[in-house]
Structure 1
Amino acid sequence: MTSEEIARLVALLRQTGTDLRDVEVKAAGGGLPKSIRDTLSAFSNDRGGTVILGLEEKAGFQPAAGFDAGRIRDALASACNDDLHPPVRGEIEMVPFEGALVVVAEIGELDPRFKPCYVAARGEYNGSFTRGGDGDRRLTDFEIHLLHTNRGQPDDDREPVPGATEADLDDTEIQFLLARVRQRQPRAFADLDRQQVLRRLNILTEDSAGVLRPSLGGLLTLGIYPQQFFPQLNATLVVYPGTSAQDIPVNGPRFLENRTFDGPIPVIVDEAVTAVLRNTSVRSFIDGSGRIDRYDYPAEVIREGVANALLHRDYSSYSRGTPVQITLYSDRLVIANPGGLFGAVTEDDLGREGVTSTRNPVLARLLQDARLPETGRMVCENRASGIPTMLRELRRTGSPLPEFHNRITRFKLLLPRHTLLDDETTTWIGGLGQQGLTTTQQLALAEMRLGRAVTNSTMRNLGLEAHRATSELADLVSRGIVVRVGERRHARYLIAPRAEQLALYAATNLSDTELIKEALRDGRELSRRDLEQRTGLSYMKVLRALKDLEIAGTVRPTAPARSPLRRYRLAP
């Protein structure tokens, strides 16, 4: 990492006032901190990160007194090699910064086959960490279990279900599936009788006593009522009126809908999609072919999101009490399932054609031949096409790209509810004074304006080839409107902190609420996004400050909470 890159990164740290999720800063004036081993473990088990030693956070990330860069570099290299198992292979270097030397280490994510990385002296179950917020958190037994299963191929969906029999399967759907597989693969299935096909497809399997039972995958695909045996292997939907569970109108309902979807996976997918669409807005457009109705979230995108969550979730005994959770807020749709990404697939891989690794191969095989009740379409293609299809549909409708949040125990898909290049965003981009921006560059800037870091993978998901994605991001950096944080595969791009924002932080000790009041002092009505840009505060800090100011009667909104016209002004 160069001195210039360190300077940009420290500018972001000073702007936020604390460490970032993937950046850990220590003064190390008295030697290498013991806690740095926890951080090395956490970065290795998470998505990697950057360690900076020699800066004092409490002093505004200034060079630390008494810091011996050479000694600390050697001590850090020794800790990476001797104190962690498996050893951490970080890139460690001394970099000049503001008249001093700091030690910077780029720590990559460990190959899933070798996780967890742990502090050797504490052992695997006491010395394995991950990142939580801007700190390190010890892994739970369940998280370590998932990392172990990620080294091989789980067979939870192949297990026989105790107490279940063939009578618990839907005969009509079995007949449809058998006819389909016999037609598609006659050499494998045409000459077999019903029970032989069911066994070959792992729909039926023998238990320890030799009795044929439906497998978990067979029951979830073709069962009449799988929840008789697994009450929580279903999906739930909660619809909130505001942007959070706590954002409740005065005398209003706590939530607008609260439902549970039972049955086999094809039924759950159909019912969940219908329920989500029923709770979203629809707009009509007229084009040459007639009227087009467009929902806030395309039906195809919702269907792929729910089907993926049910297919790829963890079905081990640890999480059979946890359903797939669908949550609809006024500004976003969230679909979450237990169990993070499986195998060698990473968040950056999502959206690439042909990239797949399934935790539940029996279930994936069956769902490609099981039909959805309403449309008769197959539940999934089992061709790694689900997320690419989702991205294409979102690009077609001008919607923002989804956010993927992957943790060891949980995977979350977040779909924002607005048009990415709305009038306000287009005006903001125009105000940057940059000529000749491509459409994808404008979309990337719109993503960054929402507080979302953009990566090379983001640009590829917007439809660019890898080399073109790199050049367009580099152009934004050279224009001075975007900064790059991190190196190589950990690089991400953010809106450049404006000089006046950094000066405001450096020259004053204003609180967040005082900064908001100063931004509104000229009498203009500003949106939340405007306030983020004018103050340099993060999304959550602006949200909290506005709430405090509203309660105090100092700031008044100009429109209801769910209105896209909502602005803020100082109270008279």
Structure 2
Amino acid sequence: MHAVMGGYPMKRSEDATTEFKRDYVDDIKKTVIAFANTSGGTLYIGIDDSGQAVGIGDVDNTLLRVSNAIRDTIKPDVTLFVSYEVQMVDNRHIIKITVQKGTASPYYLANKGIRPQGVYIRQGPSSVPATEATILNMIKNTDGENYEDVRSLQQELTFSEAEKAFSSGKIPFGTSQQKTLKITNADGIYTNLGLLLSDQCRHTIRLAVFEGTTKSVFKDRREFSGSLLKQLNEVYETISHYNRTRAEFDGLYRIDRRDYPVEAIREALLNALVHRDYSFSASTLISIFDDRLEFVSIGGLLKGISHDDIMLGISVTRNENLAHIFYRLTLIEAYGTGMPKIMQSYQGYPVAPLIEITDNAFKITLPNLNSNYGVVKEAAPLYGNELMVVEMLKTNESITRKEVEGKLSLSQAAAVNLLKRLVIRGLIRPVGAGKNTRYIRA
């Protein structure tokens, strides 16, 4: 074969980075996608399978069809990585299309989506569908580890529940707002955050009601699906149905008391949704017993954050964009206030919430205020500095904030919060006021 115009030699056979097409065919798009997803390559139109130049009759029209197809049917936009050149081989016009490896793989057919039917890679001289594992690996390598920012494998999403919530809050929910909120990325492709808010969200909440204090007998069980905003409302309503009101009398006056503080239920439910690790498919679990209400979500604390930190109100959000949307919708008031609110809602009662954390799960237990089986505050486990303060009071009749600061090497603010937390739990109580305040065992 003769050299092409410009001095570039023409290969005689197809391989991993070279493909010949006699005429324009629709499969050209798959080849471009495969090159962009793999190692780049060159596609020649006007060359037959044997490597012989047959030429193109209408070069301009063919070039227009190819460029339009690549621009309009491939996502994300791959045009920056594609160049075109008309060349002469054996006195015949051919089109040379050079495709570089893209930086936003996986590239895919817009009408097929990010799935094997739409994503192609190069294997030898062929363009073949990518496996789902290969697709996920490409997404991870391109978008990073943050689940929210990663492109959703499902792109056919609807947002009826989200639209209701945003409309109720008088917040626009158009294309530009979705991009700002990171529901879509810069290319207009839905992210996993979009999937979580969509009607097609695949993550669920499972709620079970048990008879007594063990998981022996079911009284009711349900599974909630769809948009997280829909799940939030439906689960809250269901828990409220089981949050009974008991009446007590103080002399002539009747006092009504719910089984669980409404504020504690709200904050525990929001915590389970906002902070869970959605890279795992396991459901969030909610269990209602006669004596307690449990919330178990997947995902322990982020690296560097301790139990003491979250009890102080320090918040490092796993799903920052989701938390921001909940904040915009006034579902959460401020970051880091959830745990203190839960503890404060039990202030003055002989029982307290229990927080349990493992490497892969987070559990909040709310005691039933009207139950005889509630976990007394003294039985709730102590962690870190909490335990140190209690130990100090075993050998001292009373302690001051300054003594806690010095003994535990804490700042003034940290010592104040630590002591306040133990007061809320009913483990210590203040004596005196102002600079003369001392703390004794309750």
Per the normalisation by structure 2, the TM-score is 0.51
Q: Could you say if the C-alpha distance between residues 361 and 478 of structure 1 is closer, same or farther in structure 2, counting changes exceeding 3 Å?
A: same
Q: Could you say if the C-alpha distance between residues 477 and 447 of structure 1 is closer, same or farther in structure 2, counting changes exceeding 3 Å?
A: farther
* Mapped pair 1:263 → 2:223: no
- Shift, 1:379, TM fit: 2.0
In structure 2, the residue matched to 1:553 is none
By percentage of residues, which structure has more helix? Answer: 1
Matches within 5 A, 1:216-227: 216-221=192-197, 223=198, 225-227=199-201
Task: Name the CA distance, whole Å, in 2 between partners of 1:167 and 1:244.
Answer: 40
In structure 2, the residue matched to 1:325 is 285
Q: Could you say if the C-alpha distance between residues 419 and 173 of structure 1 is closer, same or farther in structure 2, counting changes exceeding 3 Å?
A: closer
Task: Name the CA distance, whole Å, in 1 between partners of 2:220 and 2:370.
Answer: 25
Task: Name the CA distance, whole Å, in 2 between partners of 1:340 and 1:162.
Answer: 25
- Shift, 1:199, TM fit: 0.7
* Mapped pair 1:305 → 2:275: no
Task: Name the CA distance, whole Å, in 2 between partners of 1:399 and 1:264.
Answer: 38
Maintained 8 Å contact 1:157/1:216:
yes
Maintained 8 Å contact 2:350/2:377:
no
In structure 2, the residue matched to 1:502 is none
In structure 1, the residue matched to 2:213 is 243
Letter in 1 for 2:183: I
Maintained 8 Å contact 1:218/1:363:
no
* Mapped pair 1:196 → 2:176: yes
Q: Deviations 1:91-119 (Å, cap 9, x if unpaired)?
A: xxxxxxxxxxxxxxxxxxxxxxxxxxxxx
Task: Name the CA distance, whole Å, in 1 between partners of 2:384 and 2:275.
Answer: 25
* Mapped pair 1:296 → 2:272: no
Matches within 5 A, 1:393-432: 393-396=345-348, 398=349, 400-418=351-369
Q: 2:392 aligns with which of 474, 484, 489?
A: 474
Identical-pair percentage: 23
SS at match of 2:312: coil
Q: Deviations 1:393-450 (Å, cap 9, x if unpaired)?
A: 1115x15222111111111111222479x8x99xxxxxxxxxxxxxxxxx9xx533x3
Task: Name the CA distance, whole Å, in 2 between partners of 1:202 and 1:284.
Answer: 47
Task: Name the CA distance, whole Å, in 1 between partners of 2:386 and 2:242.
Answer: 29
- Shift, 1:293, TM fit: 2.9
Return 5+ residue gaps in structure 1 as ranges.
1-148, 183-192, 247-253, 371-377, 426-442, 460-468, 480-486, 490-572
* Mapped pair 1:213 → 2:214: no
Return 5+ residue gaps in structure 2 as ranges.
1-139, 398-406, 410-442
SS at match of 1:163: coil
Maintained 8 Å contact 2:154/2:195:
no
- Shift, 1:165, TM fit: 4.1
Task: Name the CA distance, whole Å, in 1 between partners of 2:208 and 2:363.
Answer: 15
In structure 2, the residue matched to 1:359 is 318
Task: Name the CA distance, whole Å, in 2 between partners of 1:363 and 1:226.
Answer: 16
Q: Could you say if the C-alpha distance between residues 237 and 458 of structure 1 is closer, same or farther in structure 2, counting changes exceeding 3 Å?
A: farther
- Shift, 1:205, TM fit: 2.0
- Alignment length (residue pairs): 257
- Shift, 1:327, TM fit: 0.8
SS at match of 1:272: helix
Task: Name the CA distance, whole Å, in 1 between partners of 2:243 and 2:340.
Answer: 23
Letter in 1 for 2:359: I
Task: Name the CA distance, whole Å, in 1 between partners of 2:305 and 2:195.
Answer: 27
Q: Could you say if the C-alpha distance between residues 172 and 413 of structure 1 is closer, same or farther in structure 2, counting changes exceeding 3 Å?
A: closer
Maintained 8 Å contact 1:311/1:360:
yes
Task: Name the CA distance, whole Å, in 2 between partners of 1:367 and 1:348.
Answer: 25
In structure 2, the residue matched to 1:558 is none
Letter in 2 for 1:350: I
SS at match of 1:266: helix
Q: Could you say if the C-alpha distance between residues 261 and 458 of structure 1 is closer, same or farther in structure 2, counting changes exceeding 3 Å?
A: farther
Task: Name the CA distance, whole Å, in 2 between partners of 1:352 and 1:457.
Answer: 11
Letter in 2 for 1:328: I
